[in-house]
């Protein structure tokens, strides 16, 4: 049995980490919200972590509003960099493992092949830059797992699949970008592998998401087909979408394909294909909606 401290405890990933720990009979965990521990408050971080003294910190909390981040760099840096530094400092003091949730946005998306863990990051957005700076902080702790994920979805939060299903109620066609390619990541599957990692000392940087690649337009088509919804998906280029919607958007990597070879080479299980993950999420969502109707 191990002791876990989870930041962002009520987010999509935090929620499924708690469920996974419970499934495994791991009862000794603290899944904290910002109200319970503000990671930007150094004194509070040290107080909470020193008192609880976990074996592992799983750091899920982050500023993730990508577009809003462009106009609030100082506040974003406070959360994604300073908050991470505080956790790393206390983890070093107490010799605690740390698992940091990073992102495909650390890359610029111009490579014409899947990104390897050792490829040089080149973030092009405030969100991406601050998450990469967070990675650099985490590297100071030799007992680190830096896990880059992408296109996250889970039952306890807003995500692309949920958005598409809501749009299907009022639209018979939708415009979705087709020149951003990557892999969805289901928090149920991600939580399992993060806990598996926590039991090991196979430290380093890993790319983790569901197997296979697709564009956002491909993903939308699959969601509608799987759900038997007659909604047409119009594939559009990112630049055209921005003009069409008359919106200001942070830079998004066009190529978000992440190689998972290291995961396999280190003996961890590969995550199921993204289509399988979407199917299971839709079942979970239906169950949740049915429960809400009772």
104 CB-near residues (< 8 Å, 6+ apart):
115, 148, 149, 150, 151, 182, 253, 256, 258
Instruction: In whole angstroms, give the CA distance from residue 21 to residue 195.
Output: 8
Q: 204-207 and 144-149 as β-strands: parallel, antiparallel, unpaired?
A: parallel
Q: 144-149 and 56-59 as β-strands: parallel, antiparallel, unpaired?
A: unpaired
Longest dimension (CA), the chain: 56
Q: What angle do CA 97, 117, 198 make, to 5 degrees?
A: 25
State the catalytic residue, choosing from 15, 29, 115, 127: 127
φ, ψ (nearest 5 deg) of residue 152: -75, 140
Instruction: In whole angstroms, give the CA distance from residue 226 to residue 135.
Output: 37
Number of Cβ within a 10 Å radius of residue 23: 11
127 is catalytic: yes
Q: How many helices (H) and strands (E) does the chain have?
A: 12, 12
Tell me if 87 sits within 8 A of 52, measured CB to CB: no
User: Could you list the active site residues?
Assistant: 127
């Amino acid at each position: 049995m191990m002791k876990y401290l989870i930041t962002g405890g009520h987010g999509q990933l935090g929620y499924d980490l708690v469920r996974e720990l419970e499934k495994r009979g791991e009862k000794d965990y603290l899944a904290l919200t910002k109200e319970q521990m503000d990671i930007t408050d150094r004194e509070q971080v040290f107080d909470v972590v020193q008192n609880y003294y976990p074996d592992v910190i799983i750091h899920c909390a982050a500023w993730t509003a990508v577009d809003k981040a462009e106009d609030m760099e100082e506040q974003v840096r406070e959360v994604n960099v300073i908050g991470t530094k505080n956790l790393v400092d206390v983890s070093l003091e107490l010799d605690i493992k740390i698992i940091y949730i990073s992102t495909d946005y650390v890359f610029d998306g111009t490579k014409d092949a899947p990104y390897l863990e050792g490829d040089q990051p080149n973030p092009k957005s405030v969100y991406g830059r601050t998450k990469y700076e967070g990675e650099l902080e985490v590297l100071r702790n030799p007992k680190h797992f830096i896990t880059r994920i992408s296109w996250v979805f889970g039952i306890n939060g807003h995500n692309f699949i949920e958005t598409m299903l809501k749009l299907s109620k009022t639209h018979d066609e939708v415009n979705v970008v087709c020149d951003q390619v990557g892999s969805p990541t289901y928090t149920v599957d991600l939580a399992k592998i993060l806990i598996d990692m926590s039991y090991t000392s196979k430290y380093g940087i890993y790319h983790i998401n569901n197997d296979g690649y697709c564009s956002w337009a491909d993903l939308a088509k699959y969601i509608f087909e799987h759900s038997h919804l007659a909604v047409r998906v119009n594939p559009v280029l990112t630049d055209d979408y921005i003009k069409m919607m008359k919106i200001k958007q942070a830079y998004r990597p066009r190529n978000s394909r992440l190689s998972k070879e290291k995961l396999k080479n280190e003996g961890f299980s590969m995550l199921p294909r993204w289509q399988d993950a979407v199917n299971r999420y839709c079942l979970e969502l239906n169950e949740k909606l049915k429960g809400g109707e009772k």
